[in-house]
Amino acid sequence: MLADTLLNVIVLIAGPVIIAFLGAIFGLLYLGVDRKLVAHMQGRIGPPIVQPFRDVDKLMVKESIIPDSAIAWLFKATPILCLVGSISLLLYIPLFGQNAMLTGFGDAIVVMYLLTIPSLALVVAGFSSSSPYATVGAQREMVMMMSYEFPLAMSIVVIAWRIGLVTNLNPFMLSTMAAYPIWGLVGPLGIVGLLILVFSMLIVTPGELGKIPFDVAEAETELAGGLLVEYSGRNLALFYISNAIKSFAVVSLVVAIFFPYNLSPILGITATVPAVILDVLFFLLKVFVIMFICVIVVRAAVARFKIDQASKFYLLIMSAVSLVGFVFILLDVII
């Protein structure tokens, strides 16, 4: 009994650390791939794939300067809050083809709330720095948060509602979504509706991550970096790592909701180690494909929106698109 208790304590302590480490490694790796591929698409050589790791290493040894007019304790606390919020996401989202560490303790609703923590930390960071550029960036970040929340919530709620029609399990649990893949529950009209919702989620993703064309809160050419203009050294490194982890977590969430398939059962592989390796590689491939479609290609092809354009795009167009997807799935159920 004592040995089991001790083992559980070790898992509870070491598990989040390992998950955070892997999330940071793969997040920074995908960030490096993103920068390299975008550079090639635009006719540039681009930095090496390991450049994000070098950036973090360089920032970690630099001094963290705090502006005289900043709220010092809040200025220093927000990078930690942002990092903790991003890591918390990883604990509730299934990764590498396995169950989430905290599966059974939180569902997609919890994940949606956790998604707001890094953004809110950025907003507070902008206001606490007392820079006019950061203040404008913080205001824009709040507007963007309010703009993309509805299509994001609509996609998740519609999927959960449809799964709830065929099971008594909590349909908002990501484990339930994995057990009842949505594509096998709908007919032709439902397939059309799901494709529309997938499109909606793919468009929401760069907004959630603050990537071009929705990086209006940073807008280097307008706001000199916006939210983080006054940050440097270790504090900036923590935000950098948080962004990488959140990027990996958000794309993993799209995988968990719409593509929760493992390759080993399909190929009939039952040996534990080969099955795990295959599922991990397949998961990383799915993450890369989604990131390539909704982040890399879009960033290479589209110019930055103005804040009013980005807000209207999500509030009006993408909200309407997600509602159309719901209508198709509803008609599929009725007919």
Distance CA 190, CA 188 (A): 5
The reported pLDDT for the residue numbered 295 is 86
Both ends of the chain: CA-CA distance in Å? Answer: 55
Q: What are phi and psi of 136, to 5 degrees?
A: -65, -40
Residue 28: what pLDDT?
93
Q: How many other C-beta atoms can be found within 10 angstroms of the C-beta atom of residue 175?
A: 17
Mean pLDDT by 10 residues, the chain (335 residues): 62 80 92 90 87 91 84 89 91 87 82 89 86 84 86 90 89 88 88 93 88 76 71 89 92 91 82 85 93 87 83 90 92 86
- 142 with 123: CB under 8 angstroms? yes
Q: How far apart are CA 258 and CA 266, in angstroms?
A: 17
Q: 132-157: b or e for each residue (b if 16 or more CB lie within 10 Å)?
A: ebbbbbbbbbbbbbebbbbbbebbbb
From CA 69, how far away is CA 130, in angstroms rounded?
Answer: 6
Residue 41 pLDDT: 87
CB atoms within 10 A of CB 122: 29
- The CA distance from 241 to 287, in Å, is 18
Number of domains in the chain: 1
**Per-residue pLDDT, 225:** 65
| Domain that includes residue 227, residue range | 2-334
CA 101 to chain centre: 17
pLDDT for 139: 84
Claim: this prediction has a pTM higher than 0.95: no
State the pLDDT at residue 127.
Answer: 85
